[in-house]
């Protein structure tokens, strides 16, 4: 039996120009989570989502990029080209299962990333910070009891920490230049679609034997880039939530399924 949600305002970040609270009691909490998840499974070019009934198709090269048609895929190629090569390289070096696990984790938690990204990067005070800073989330594999298998709905990763960092060589080594170029292209696409811009959430899953290696020697397979667009409406939500301890709440919510 699904538990009914208590009456409370729900802000739909991208659907209205003004932040008008919409009170909902007809949906269970799990149904609202599923609706938000579908809203964030979007065409990587025009941002049409599954929630609107669009059928998305995967990039034939990396099987990660998603597009509503061939026209969007062609227009997105300049920005996706670098990521496509990284995704294919990751699949070869660490295996397709590792990559698909990160992709699945991203799709389940993308609404959570978007809830705290603007606050973490302080885009409310300066939206152009999206070009210089990224939200970095450190992941590790959770430990399961010997002989036991994780439940299908249980998360395959545990969030260790999260922080806003500069997109430079200090942390990302030789990857920084290509990542900045990719971010600039993605921002141009989002502005063309009517948003203010786009920022990157970087999932960093380092293997135990790589923990002490310098950034430039760590394989690209350990990084998974999640571009998230933001609008004036979402910045209004961020200004309301600017006071919250975003790091603690973000990690807590990401680990709720463990």
Tokens linked to 132: 């210089």
Mean pLDDT for 78-102 is: 73
pLDDT band at 5; cut points 50, 70, 90: very low
pLDDT band at 4; cut points 50, 70, 90: very low
Q: What is the pLDDT of residue 81?
A: 80
* Residue, of 115 and 211, whose pLDDT is higher: 115
Length of the chain: 258
The closest alpha carbon to 220, from 77, 98, 104, belongs to 98
Mean pLDDT for 62-89 is: 80
Inform me whether the pLDDT recorded for 123 exceeds 90. yes
Mean pLDDT for 155-162 is: 86
Mean pLDDT for 15-37 is: 52
Mean pLDDT for 179-198 is: 86
* Residue, of 252 and 20, whose pLDDT is higher: 252
CA angle 246, 171, 133 (to 5 degrees): 45
pLDDT band at 144; cut points 50, 70, 90: low
pLDDT band at 20; cut points 50, 70, 90: very low
Q: What is the pLDDT of residue 162?
A: 94
The pTM of the whole model exceeds 0.85:
no
**Can you tell me whether residue 229 is helix, strand or coil?**
strand
* Residue, of 119 and 6, whose pLDDT is higher: 119
Q: What is the pLDDT of residue 213?
A: 44
Q: What is the pLDDT of residue 127?
A: 94
* Residue, of 219 and 162, whose pLDDT is higher: 162
Instruction: Give strand ranges (E) for the chain.
Output: 9-10, 22-23, 57-58, 66-67, 133-140, 158-166, 197-205, 223-230
Tell me the C-alpha distance between 172 and 178, whole Å.
10
């Amino acid at each position: 039996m699904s538990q009914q949600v208590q009456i409370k305002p729900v802000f739909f970040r991208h659907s209205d120009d003004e932040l008008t609270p919409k009170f909902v009691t007809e949906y269970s909490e799990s149904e609202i989570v599923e609706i938000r998840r579908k809203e964030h499974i979007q065409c990587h070019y025009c941002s049409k989502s599954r929630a609107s009934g669009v059928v998305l198709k995967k990039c034939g090269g990396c099987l990660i990029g998603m597009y509503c048609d061939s026209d969007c895929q062609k227009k997105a190629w300049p920005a996706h080209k670098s990521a496509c090569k990284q995704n294919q390289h990751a699949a070869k070096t660490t295996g397709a299962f590792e990559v698909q696990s990160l992709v699945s984790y991203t799709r389940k938690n993308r609404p959570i990333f978007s809830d705290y990204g603007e606050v973490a990067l302080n885009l409310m005070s300066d939206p152009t910070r999206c070009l210089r800073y990224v939200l970095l989330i450190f992941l590790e594999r959770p430990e399961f009891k010997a002989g036991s298998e994780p439940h299908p709905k249980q998360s395959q990763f545990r969030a260790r920490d999260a922080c806003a960092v500069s997109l430079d060589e200090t942390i990302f080594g030789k990857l920084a230049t290509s990542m900045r170029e990719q971010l600039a292209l993605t921002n141009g696409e989002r502005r063309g679609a009517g948003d203010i811009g786009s920022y990157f959430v970087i999932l960093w899953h380092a293997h135990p034997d790589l923990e002490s290696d310098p950034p430039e020697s760590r394989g690209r397979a350990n990084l998974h880039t999640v571009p998230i667009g933001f609008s004036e409406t979402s910045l209004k939500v961020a200004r309301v939530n600017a006071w919250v301890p975003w790091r603690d709440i973000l990690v807590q919510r990401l680990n709720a399924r463990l």
